[in-house]
């Protein structure tokens, strides 16, 4: 009798699962013909749960600990098998180990843009993505509803279904929240918490707990983001007229190094000043209010350049041109140019200069 007990002790099975993976949710303990010896040792480690299944039905569930598989430790299975007086032979059962730890850094995101109506921009298309974490909350429900007879069930086998569920509910929440698109970045946390509460019960239907859900980004289409960038740039510029004049003034040192010298720079400044006002008004820039009791400055008078002795001279205003004409240096054949002219033109063919030349009296006759 002592020898039999010794041999019997040497034949005791050890039922356990050492998980060396990062993605296994459920693992079926393999045994030949699913036979487990009477008195076998069952070890359930922290972060695990063991589920015994007999003839397709869930029987006993074991939380972390070490157990000797006897009739008293298998009340449901013993009832199903009809072991009223105990047993000494191997019994048939499937053992599924469920990992109860959190599965983190799971990705979710919209494959296609979500259409919604924004109070400021009208109909817009949004994309969103983030991460979430799940854990097994009801091993029996998970095995019954999802795993079935899969002997090695990984999280990859259910993430697509969970992602589709999250995206579908996010579209409903984002569309009905009434949060403006530009304010959504300030509400990522609220959206994530509300979404997690919204779909928690649906995860529970799979035997899972949604431990955490994060909204990491909500973005508009690239062309809309580009338009917003331009709009933001205009806001940073502020007074476009002053900005244009500032840029023209900064170009004077570079213009002084060009063949045209400061004369060309002066023409550029006149052009910049003349264009700054209309451009600013067209783009909605507000004109700066005049100081009380002051009158607006006069518009700059046109300036002219002359070709004198083979060199460019100027700029000249109309008064200076009259003096040049009186001195005989400005004639009808003198080439002249001003802003807006395509090329140098004889002064006699330019109406404004012709009028100056007509007002100059001819030279006195000899001997007068």
- The closest alpha carbon to 93, from 164, 48, 36, 24, belongs to 36
Residue 358 in this model has a pLDDT that exceeds 90 = no
- Report the alpha-carbon distance of residue 206 to residue 352 in Å, rounded: 89
- The closest alpha carbon to 94, from 150, 136, 39, 51, belongs to 51
Asked whether the bond before 315 is cis by omega within 30 degrees of 0, the reply is yes
pLDDT band at 262 (very low <50, low <70, confident <90, very high): very low
Task: Say if residues 303 and 325 touch (Cβ distance below 8 Å).
Answer: no
Count CB neighbours of 326 within 10 A: 13
Count CB neighbours of 257 within 10 A: 8
Residue found under tokens 């007990």: 5
Give the pLDDT of residue 10.
44
Percent composition of the chain: helix, strand, coil (DSSP 3-state, to 5) = 40, 25, 30
- The closest alpha carbon to 145, from 132, 164, 135, 158, belongs to 158
- Report the alpha-carbon distance of residue 317 to residue 301 in Å, rounded: 7
Mean pLDDT in residue range 73-91: 67
Residue 244 in this model has a pLDDT that exceeds 70 = no
**Which residue did the predictor score with more confidence, 194 or 300?**
194
Average pLDDT over the chain reads 78
Instruction: Tell me the per-residue pLDDT of 126-176, one tens digit each, with 9 for 90 and over.
Output: 889 999 999 999 999 999 999 988 999 999 999 999 999 999 888 888 877
Give the pLDDT of residue 280.
52
Give the pLDDT of residue 54.
83
Mean pLDDT in residue range 361-368: 67
């Amino acid at each position: 009798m002592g020898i039999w007990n010794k041999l019997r002790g040497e034949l005791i099975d050890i039922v356990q699962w050492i998980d060396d993976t990062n993605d296994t949710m459920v693992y079926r303990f393999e045994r030949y013909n699913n036979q487990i010896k009477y008195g076998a040792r069952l070890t359930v480690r922290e972060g695990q749960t063991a589920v015994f299944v007999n003839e397709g039905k869930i029987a006993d569930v074991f939380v972390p600990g070490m157990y000797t598989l006897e009739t008293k430790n298998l009340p449901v299975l013993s009832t199903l098998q009809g072991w009223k007086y105990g047993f000494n032979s191997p019994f048939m059962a499937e053992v599924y180990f469920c990992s109860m730890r959190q599965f983190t850094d799971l990705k979710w995101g919209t494959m296609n843009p979500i259409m919604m109506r924004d109070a400021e921009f009208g109909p817009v298309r949004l994309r969103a993505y983030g991460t979430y974490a799940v854990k097994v909350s009801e091993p029996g429900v998970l095995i019954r509803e999802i795993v079935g007879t899969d002997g090695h069930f990984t999280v990859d086998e259910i993430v697509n279904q969970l992602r589709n569920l999250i995206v579908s509910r996010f579209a409903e929440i984002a569309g009905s929240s009434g949060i403006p698109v530009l304010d959504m970045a300030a509400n990522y946390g609220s959206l994530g918490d509300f979404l997690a509460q919204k779909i928690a019960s649906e995860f529970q239907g799979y035997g899972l707990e949604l431990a955490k859900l994060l909204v990491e980004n909500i973005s508009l289409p690239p062309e809309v983001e580009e338009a917003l960038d331009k709009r933001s740039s205009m806001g940073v510029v502020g007074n476009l007229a002053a900005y244009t004049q500032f840029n023209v003034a900064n170009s004077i040192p570079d213009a002084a190094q060009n063949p045209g010298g400061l004369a060309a720079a002066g023409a550029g400044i006149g052009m910049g000043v003349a264009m700054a006002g209309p451009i600013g008004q067209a783009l909605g820039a507000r004109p700066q209010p005049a100081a009380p009791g002051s009158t607006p400055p006069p518009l700059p008078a046109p300036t002219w350049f002359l070709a004198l002795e083979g060199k460019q001279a100027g700029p000249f205003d109309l008064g200076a041109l009259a003096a040049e004409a009186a001195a005989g240096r400005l004639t009808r054949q003198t080439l002249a140019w001003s802003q807006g002219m395509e090329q140098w033109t004889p002064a006699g063919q330019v109406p404004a200069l012709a009028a100056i030349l007509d007002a100059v009296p001819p030279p006195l006759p000899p001997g007068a």
